[in-house]
């Protein structure tokens, strides 16, 4: 499959980290990050992780229609995730997908996981009486990287929308023996914002998975920073500010 | 892994959220776009942008600020979203909707007319949902909501014309935002990025507005020449927006004169916009000590105007 030109192997940034050949790492995983694609949205991004492709659009902060008490002190987050019918090898019938009320629905589960991952990272108290709408479109899902691609695309789109964040959040999914492990990490604060595990494993393996995921998150973080700073540089030139 | 600390000369550095700006929180004050991490005694960036250090104030400014931040005294153009009890809720393309209280508008019959109960019931006769009007920001509440007022006869409901949306940071803040351009049209530059272009104000409508308080707008038919001027002006303003130049009466007229060589509908083509940009650089390059013709030399041809202010 052809990759876009700016794909790079995340391991190439491992200049000051102690990286050795590991059982879990897969050096064929390519990453592509791009932002500011959708003009109508306040912020947008497109992420490719291996063969998972996800696009994110952010609208806001804008006036909230909610009248709950907590909306007066902080910002509300509304997430909406949608699968394209061609995202997986079996066609997903859009008419069968239920929103909101269906508990079995994978989309609403992804939404709640995304909220759990992002809420600790946004400065919500800076945007009272407002809400941020995050709309995610899944173009292709390879089974492993979906949740991490969703969280990454939301982070890059939030940065594009100039919404204040505590840190650049990165997420990494690891697959081992049919169990899926996703870690959402804030590198500069050295904090884990959330961790999802589906499957069966021993405690020691869980520790190893966590360490491995943290190291790979740091690499991804460098990749995101590189893309964001490059975009800032070209925006500076475009806006004719003398730097 | 070492946190991304940037070097002490942080002025004008590009940062991402989470970058440490300084370890010395006692000496520096926190500005926009930063937050203080009290557990580690750091000052960190919360948005992606360029660091601006002014004496002891550290702030991070976004390169393209997408949302309008209101200040008292700004002229804005808004659209009515809702008619509430004794106030209108207005969309001014900002984070929150603004309010226009009934007490802040001119009622028909003169400015000092006593307000009666019927005024509240007749609010829709002045402004209803979907109407555009110009106003001034009267005050800002604590949560950031803006309160507007149209007490001056210049403000009020807008009639026929074209509304152009541009980046709010490009609208130059000047003493006067209402311009009567020599090419035969009037322009209202709203600080929130909404620019209104309309036929020139004739003398007869002035006497109208004294009596009706800006309620009734002139809706006689507009001639084809004036329409062409207005459309050409709207395309010129879009060109200024695309090139990232400050929008004020002189810059609009400069682009208007440069655009006279082209057809109105050609002005949206990228090649022609490039050509106009080059001509503009050549024109203004003499004042700036000669700039290159290429687009990205980092010099704003109108920057000398800003220094005069």
Angstrom distance (rounded) from CA A152 to CA A37: 15
From the list A219, A221, A175, the residue with the least C-alpha distance to A11 is: A219
Beta bridge partners of A79: A134
What's the domain count of chain A?
1
Query: Could you give the C-alpha distances from B188 to A21, B74, B199, in angstroms and in order?
Result: 64, 12, 11
Show the domain range for A38: 10-20+29-90+105-242
**Interface contact B69, partner A, CB < 8 A:** no
Asked if the model's pLDDT at residue A3 lies above 80, the reply is no
Domains and CATH numbers, chain B: 14-62 (2.40.50.100), 75-212 (2.40.50.140)
Structure tokens at A220: 């991804």
**Which region among A51-55, B110-114, B251-255, B257-261 has the lowest average model confidence (pLDDT)?**
B110-114
Q: Which A residues, 73 through 132, put their C-beta within 8 Å of a C-beta on chain B? A: 123, 127-130
Angstrom distance (rounded) from CA B309 to CA B222: 37
Angstrom distance (rounded) from CA B92 to CA B98: 7
**Interface contact B200, partner A, CB < 8 A:** no
Q: What is the percent of chain B with per-residue pLDDT over 90, rounded to a whole number?
A: 30
CB A166 to CB B18 under 8 A? Answer: yes
Any domain includes A99: no
Any domain includes A4: no
Structure tokens at B23: 């370890």
Any domain includes A96: no
CB A166 to CB B17 under 8 A? Answer: yes
Angstrom distance (rounded) from CA A99 to CA B71: 41
Q: What is the mean pLDDT of residues B89-96?
A: 89
pLDDT value, residue A28: 57
* Beta-sheet strands, E only, within B62-175: 75-84, 87-91, 98-101, 132-140, 146-149, 156-157, 162-165
Quick one: pLDDT band at residue A86, thresholds 50, 70, 90? very high
Q: What is the mean pLDDT of chain A?
A: 81
pLDDT value, residue A21: 33
Identify whether the C-beta of residue B248 lies closer than 8 Å to the C-beta of residue B181.
no
Asked if the model's pLDDT at residue B189 lies above 80, the reply is yes
Angstrom distance (rounded) from CA A167 to CA A164: 9
CB atoms within 10 A of CB B63: 21
Residue pointed to by tokens 């002229």 = B75
Angstrom distance (rounded) from CA A8 to CA A168: 19
Mutate to test the interface with B, among A123, A162, A217 (most CBs of B within 10 A): A162
CB A162 to CB B95 under 8 A? Answer: no
CB B66 to CB A218 under 8 A? Answer: no
Looking only at the bridges linking them, the beta strands covering B29-30 and B57-61 are: parallel
Orientation of helix B224-243 relative to helix B270-285, angle to 10°: 80
CB A188 to CB B44 under 8 A? Answer: yes
- The CATH number of the domain holding residue A39 is 3.30.230.70
DSSP state of A30: E
Any domain includes A86: yes
Q: What angle do CA A17, A181, A108 make, to 5 degrees?
A: 130
A-chain CB neighbours of B20 within 8 Å are 188
Minimum distance, in Å, between the CA of residue B14 and any CA atom of chain A: 7
Quick one: pLDDT band at residue B211, thresholds 50, 70, 90? very low
pTM over cut 0.80: no
From the list B194, B207, B270, the residue with the least C-alpha distance to B234 is: B194
The per-residue pLDDT for range A102-143, each reduced to its tens digit, is: 556 788 889 999 999 998 889 888 888 889 999 999 999 988
Identify whether the C-beta of residue B214 lies closer than 8 Å to the C-beta of residue B153.
yes
Any domain includes A238: yes
DSSP state of B285: H
Integer-rounded Cα Rg, in Å, for chain B is 23
Alpha helix positions (H), chain A: 106-118, 146-160, 203-238
Looking only at the bridges linking them, the beta strands covering B132-140 and B75-84 are: antiparallel
pLDDT value, residue B93: 87
CB A159 to CB B16 under 8 A? Answer: yes
Any domain includes A1: no
User: What number is the ipTM of this complex?
Assistant: 0.78
Any domain includes A119: yes
Peptide bond before B64: cis, by omega within 30 degrees of 0?
no
B-chain CB neighbours of A17 within 8 Å are 1
CB A240 to CB B44 under 8 A? Answer: no
Any domain includes A204: yes
B-chain CB neighbours of A128 within 8 Å are 143-144
The per-residue pLDDT for range B134-184, each reduced to its tens digit, is: 999 999 988 788 999 998 888 989 988 999 999 888 898 999 999 999 998
Q: What is the mean pLDDT of residues A216-229?
A: 87
**Interface contact A7, partner B, CB < 8 A:** no
């Amino acid at each position: 499959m052809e990759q876009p030109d700016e794909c790079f192997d995340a391991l190439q940034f491992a200049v000051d980290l102690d990286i050795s050949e590991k059982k879990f790492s897969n050096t064929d995983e390519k990453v592509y990050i791009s932002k500011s694609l959708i003009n109508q949205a306040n912020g947008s991004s497109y992420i490719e992780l291996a063969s998972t492709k996800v696009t994110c659009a952010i609208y806001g902060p804008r006036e909230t229609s909610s009248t709950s008490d907590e909306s007066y002190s902080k910002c509300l987050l509304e997430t909406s995730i949608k699968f394209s019918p061609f995202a997986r090898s079996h066609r997903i019938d859009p008419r069968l997908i239920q929103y909101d009320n269906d508990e079995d629905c994978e989309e609403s589960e992804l939404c709640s996981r995304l909220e759990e991952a992002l809420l600790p990272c946004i400065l919500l108290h800076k945007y009272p009486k407002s809400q941020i709408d995050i709309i995610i479109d899944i173009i292709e899902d390879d089974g492993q990287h979906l949740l991490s691609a969703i969280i990454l695309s939301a982070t890059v789109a939030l940065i594009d929308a100039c919404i204040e964040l505590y840190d650049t959040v990165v997420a990494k999914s690891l697959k081992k023996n049919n169990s899926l492990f996703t870690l959402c990490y804030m590198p500069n604060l050295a904090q884990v914002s959330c961790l999802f595990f589906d499957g069966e494993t021993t405690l020691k393996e869980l520790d190893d998975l966590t360490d491995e995921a943290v190291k790979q998150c740091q690499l991804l973080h460098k990749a995101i920073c590189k893309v964001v700073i490059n975009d800032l540089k070209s925006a500076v030139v475009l806006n004719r500010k003398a730097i | 892994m070492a946190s991304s600390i940037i070097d002490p000369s942080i002025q004008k550095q590009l940062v991402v959220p989470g970058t440490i700006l300084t370890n010395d929180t006692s000496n520096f004050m926190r500005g926009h776009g930063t937050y203080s991490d009290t557990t580690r005694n750091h000052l960190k960036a919360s948005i992606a942008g360029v660091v601006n250090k002014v004496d002891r104030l550290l702030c991070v400014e976004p390169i393209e600020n997408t949302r309008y931040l209101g200040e008292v005294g700004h002229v804005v153009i808004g659209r009515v979203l809702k008619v509430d009890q004794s106030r209108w809720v207005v969309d001014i393309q900002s984070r929150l909707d603004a309010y226009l209280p009934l007490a802040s508008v001119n009622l028909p019959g003169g400015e000092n007319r006593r307000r009666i109960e019927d005024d509240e019931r007749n609010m829709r006769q002045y402004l209803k949902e979907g109407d555009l009007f110009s106003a001034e920001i009267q005050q800002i509440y604590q949560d950031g909501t803006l309160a507007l007022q149209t007490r001056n006869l210049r403000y009020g409901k807008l009639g026929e014309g074209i509304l152009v949306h541009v980046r709010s940071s490009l609208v130059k803040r000047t003493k006067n935002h209402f311009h009567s351009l020599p090419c035969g049209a009037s322009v209202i530059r709203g600080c929130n990025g909404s620019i209104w272009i309309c036929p020139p104000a004739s003398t007869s409508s002035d006497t109208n507005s004294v009596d009706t308080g800006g309620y009734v707008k002139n809706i006689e038919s507009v001639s084809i020449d004036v329409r062409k001027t207005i459309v050409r002006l709207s395309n010129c303003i879009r060109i200024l927006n695309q090139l990232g130049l400050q929008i004020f009466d002189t810059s609009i007229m400069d682009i208007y004169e440069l655009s006279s060589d082209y057809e109105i509908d050609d002005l949206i083509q990228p090649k022609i916009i490039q050509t106009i940009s080059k001509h503009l650089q050549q024109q203004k390059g003499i004042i700036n000590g000669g700039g290159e013709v290429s687009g990205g030399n980092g010099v704003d041809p109108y920057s000398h105007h800003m220094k005069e202010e």
